[in-house]
Amino acid sequence: MTEKLHAPVIAWFDAHARDLPWRRPEAGPWGVMVSEFMLQQTPVSRVLPVYEQWLARWPRPADLAAEAPGEAVRAWGRLGYPRRALRLHGAAVAITERHGGDVPTDHAQLLALPGIGEYTAAAVASFAYGQRHAVLDTNVRRVFARAVTGVQYPPNATTAAERRLARELLPEDEPTAARWAAASMELGALVCTAKNETCPRCPIAGECAWRLAGKPAHEGPPRRGQTYAGTDRQVRGKLLAVLREAHAPVTQTVLDRVWHEPVQRARALDGLVSDGLVEPLAGGLYRLPLG
């Protein structure tokens, strides 16, 4: 089964992979790492312009590390989940201090960087350095769930069984394993999508357990939908937008204008302060963090 999946998926990837800047040789390991932080829960179309601006401004980790963390939050713009910007800044500082400014090649050293979990460490090791690691994002998990397990969707949270399956499916050859990681992810992003999958375009449709079973409907827990309007996330985004656009501390009065409901607004602002995304100053002033 394993061999029947590898060759067609990799051949499909060779023919259909998108030309994305972080896949080009000139991106280097730092470009790969930046893309992985930005792409978490964010579509490629929104990441591309911010990624290009980020790498133009901070082409090496040391360039970002030399700036205040608030500048990373400012440059993050409206990508969402802005704590990722602080984590990427923290990783850049650690890379500069511990590794001479070069993204480490060792998986354990990557995992030891602040803000980097198992997925990101495996992705950087695989995509930047061609190593053999199971890289399990939402797209890959969905491909494996359908093609091998025979269910429409994977569990809401990654399970030990999924990790075991991903390791079993890894090609033994290191370069092939790295290519497989990228190819299976791209297949999930372009063909084996969450909705309206295009099985006629799939290189492994003839092997897909879910399709061969007649595409049985999802029977697990309800899939989590993401709402935004009216949530604390939306209020946090509006508050941060004001602070990103200001190059001097902002008064409480200015921030009060962004949202009509005072309790939710205060809760969102308190959350931003607790997360280190906003720095309160004397006199009721606020700014992006300087240190």
Measuring CA to CA, which residue among 128, 109, 115, 144 is closest to residue 38? 115
Question: How far from chain centre, in Å, is Cα 55?
Answer: 16
Two tokens at 116?
Answer: 């980097």
For the chain, the first-to-last Cα distance in angstroms comes to: 52
Q: Which of 3, 26, 36, 168 is catalytic?
A: 36
Two tokens at 157?
Answer: 């949270």
Two tokens at 42?
Answer: 């964010």
Two tokens at 247?
Answer: 């190059």
Q: At a CB cut-off of 8 Å and minimum separation 6, what does 170 contact?
A: 132, 133, 134, 177, 180
Is 36 an annotated catalytic residue?
yes
The CA distance from 119 to 133, in Å, is 10
**Which runs of E-coded beta strand occur in 109-267?**
250-251
Sheet with 250-251: strands ordered across: 250-251, 285-287, 279-281
Q: Which sequence positions are flagged as catalytic?
A: 36
